[in-house]
Amino acid sequence: MAVTISPDTIKFLADLDKNNNREWFLANKKRYDAAKKNVEDFVDALITRVAKFEPAVANFKAKDCMFRINRDVRFSANKAPYKNNMGAYISKGGKKSSGPGYYIHIQPNNIFLAGGCWMPEAADLKKIRDAIDYDYEAFEKIVTSKEAKKMFGALSEDDRLKTAPKGYPKDHPGLEYLKNKSFIFYHKIDAKEAVKPNFDDVVITGFKSIKPLNDYLSQALEYTED
C-alpha cells in the first residue's frame, strides 16, 4: 500500500504558519509528531525507490535526509522559531551536501520537488562551469531533453549572473548556462495532488527525470586534472 501525505500534515503546517510560537507548538506537539511521522514514512518509501537508480543512498533513512523544523534565528531578522515546511534532500553526500541530489518540499501552497546542485561552493561551481565550457552541447542536451521539458520546462534561472563569469568568454555559445550559480530543476505541485495515493509516483517520475542532470554534475565534480 502506497504511503501518502496526509491532509492533516498540510493542515498542521498551515496552522503552524499562523501560530509560529513555542507555546502553540508545545500545545500541538502531538499533531507535530503525527505530521513528522507521516513525512518520515513518505521519505523512507521514496528512498527505497530512489535507491533502485541511485544505489549510494540505499542505506539511508528519512532521518538522514530530513531537515529539522527548528529555525536558526541567530542571524535572522525573522525570529519565528519554526519552519512552516518539512523537507528532505536525498543525496549520496548527505542532506547538508551542496552536491547533486533530490529534494522534496512539503509546505501549504508551496509543494515542490527539485534536484541538481543548489549554490555549490566556489571550487565546485568552477568545476561545473569548466565542464560546460568544455562541452556545453552535452549539458544542453540534458537540460533540453523531452523528459526534462515535460516535467520542468527548463533549468531554473534563479541565482544567475548578469554577465559572463570571470575567466569565460562573453561570446561562449553556452553562456546562458555558465551564468548560473545553481543548476537545478524545479517542479511545483498542487496541494490537492500531493495528498493523492499516487503522489509518490509523481515524485519518483520527477526524480528519474533529474537523474541525467545529477549524473552530469557528479561527473563534473569528480573530475581531477592529472
DSSP 194-220: HTSTTHHHHHHHHHHHHHHHHHHHHHH
The answer to whether position 2 is within a domain reads no
Average pLDDT estimate for 10-28:
97
Interval 120-155: pLDDT, tens = 999 999 999 999 999 999 999 999 999 999 999 999
In the structure, what pLDDT confidence band is assigned to residue 82 with cuts at 50, 70 and 90? very high
The answer to whether position 1 is within a domain reads no
Structural domain range at position 46 = 7-222
Read off the pTM: 0.94
The answer to whether position 87 is within a domain reads yes
pLDDT value at position 61?
96
Report the number of distinct structural domains present in the chain.
Answer: 1
The answer to whether position 30 is within a domain reads yes
The answer to whether position 63 is within a domain reads yes
The answer to whether position 109 is within a domain reads yes
CATH code: domain of residue 78: 3.30.930
pLDDT value at position 1?
58
The answer to whether position 38 is within a domain reads yes
pLDDT value at position 226?
47
The answer to whether position 108 is within a domain reads yes
Whole-number Cα distances in Å, 67 to 82, 160, 181: 12, 26, 23
